[in-house]
Amino acid sequence: MIEPVQLPSPWRDARLTVVVPTYNEAGNLPVLVERLLALPLPGLKVLVADDNSPDGTGEVADKLAIEHPDRIEVVHRAGKEGLGRAYVDGIGRSLDAGADYVAQMDADLSHPPEALPGMLGALLSTQAGVVIGSRYVPGGQLDENWPLYRRALSGWANLYVHTLLRVRIRDLTAGFKIWRADALRDIGLDRVQSNGYSFQVEMHYLATKLGHTILEVPIRFEERRDGISKMTTATKVESALMPFKLRSRHRNLPG
């Protein structure tokens, strides 16, 4: 586990909301929240968007919110509508509540929370609209236990999307990032239509088309510690078709 960067004031006091979509993450969520709240970021809040998890993740999240009423909010959604819809809901609520910066991360402990202060510092010290915690820039790492087929799928997906969309990002499918609130408002969440993991690609594509600088910083990506991957055949099909839809859907945007 890395040591989090100690940011100077007022950077460390930034109003940052971390949006964490969950579905069957009852075992991982308490560990993630503990690590997030231990960060030297007193302005950090956590918004859990739970898609009615049958394993009781929503109830676990509610208990955590009772223990930390000023720092944790829980959104209970009707059912499993997809990662993209959960993020759009959570990000929209975060912006409405006054967050200046919004982070996205998975609940499965694959993304190191301790990297967030450094990512926030990179965002605040540059003109970037978003900072990505990247597996594929120099210094980035993949857990040795990550299955070979997942490595191949991730590498192929990045190459495939990059070839079709010409977006200069090494980790196009990354799900660990921090956004400036004004960049998110410029993108407009009403534009975003992806449901699954292709949500990440659509957000990166829109940010690039609208001229926002995207900065990648290296992280170590860990294999999930508990539960199973949510990747389904339908998700893979949506991801394969998404680049073609994006080019058509957003053809009138500049860039």
Model pLDDT for residues 216-252, shown as the tens digit of each residue: 999 999 876 665 555 555 555 555 666 666 766 767 7
For residue 83, which of 170, 248, 186, 203 has the smallest C-alpha distance? 203
Mean pLDDT in residue range 87-106: 97
Specify the pLDDT at position 28: 96
The CB-based long-range contact list for 92-100 (8 Å cut-off, 24+ gap) reads: 92/189, 93/47, 94/17, 94/19, 94/47, 95/181, 95/184, 95/185, 97/17, 97/73, 98/15, 99/15, 99/16, 99/17, 99/45, 99/181, 100/14, 100/15, 100/16, 100/180, 100/181
C-alpha 25/C-alpha 159 separation (Å) is: 30
Q: Do residues 176 and 105 lie in contact, with contact meaning Cβ atoms separated by under 8 Å?
A: yes
Q: What's the residue count for the chain? A: 255
For residue 46, which of 77, 75, 17, 7 has the smallest C-alpha distance? 17
Q: How far is CA 206 from the centre of its chain?
A: 15
Which residue in the block uniquely carries the two structure tokens 């402990």?
109
Tell me which of 19-23, 40-44, 152-156 is least confident: 152-156
For residue 243, which of 213, 202, 183 has the smallest C-alpha distance? 202
Specify the pLDDT at position 134: 95
Element (H, E) at 60: helix 57-67
Sorting pLDDT into bands at 50, 70 and 90, what band is 106? very high
Sorting pLDDT into bands at 50, 70 and 90, what band is 30? very high
- Considering all CA atoms of the chain, what is the largest pairwise distance in Å, rounded to the nearest integer? 47
- Assess whether pLDDT exceeds 80 at residue 148: no
Specify the pLDDT at position 151: 67
Could you say which of 3.30.110.60, 3.40.50.300, 3.90.550.10, 3.40.1280.10 is the CATH number of the domain covering 11-250?
3.90.550.10
* SS3 at position 70: coil
Q: For 125-180, where are the alpha helices, taking DSSP H only?
A: 148-165
